[in-house]
Structure 1
Amino acid sequence: RLASYKAALRDMGCEDRQACGRWLNNRVENSHLPFRRRERAMQRFRRMRSLQKFVAVHSSVFNHFNQDRSLSKRDHFKQNRTAALAEWRSLCAA
C-alpha cells in the first residue's frame, strides 16, 4: 500500500514533498489531543442541552484554574493559583 502511494507521488512529481515515516505525523496528531479529549467528554451526554449546560459551567471553572505551569516560574504560578482559589471561594460564599 505504501509502495503504491509512493509510486503515485513519483508519477505526479511530488515525491520529495511528502515525508513518510513512523513518527513524522506525531506533531499533527498531538496538536489534536485537546480536541479529542473534548470529543470523548461530549460522548457521555445524550442531549445537546445537557451538554451545553455542563460546558457553560465547566468552561468558566476550567478557564479560571487552568494555567500552564510550563509558561511561568513556580512562585508566579503559585501566586496565580492562590489568587484564583481565593476569588473562587469568595464567589461561592456569595
Structure 2
Amino acid sequence: MNNTLRDPQSFPGLVETVPGVNNLLVIYDPRKIPPDAAAQVLSDLWIRSSPTPINGKHFVIDMIYGGEHGMDLDYVAEQTGLTPRDVIA
C-alpha cells in the first residue's frame, strides 16, 4: 500500500508516508482532501492492496553467559530468586 500511495494520483494532498512493522503513518494536507475523503481513499487502497513479500536475512549471534563473560549472572539469579538458566531464558 505504501508503494501505491507514492503515486500522486492515488492520494491528493499526500505529504509523507512512514511505514512501520504493522502500520502505516499517512501525513496529508487536509486543505487538499477532507478527512472523510482521505479515510475513504485509504480504505479503498487497503482493500485493493496485496502483501509485498520481503526477503529478510537471518543472522546467527553466538551468546555466552556466565563466567568471565557474565560475572554478575549468579548475583542477578540470587537477587531475583531465579536460577542462572532462568535468568538467561
What TM-score range do you get, normalising by the shorter chain? under 0.3
Give 1 or 2: higher helix fraction.
Answer: 1
Q: Which has the higher contact order (CA 8 A, sep 6+)?
A: 2
Larger Rg computed on CA atoms = 2
TM-score by length of 1: 0.26
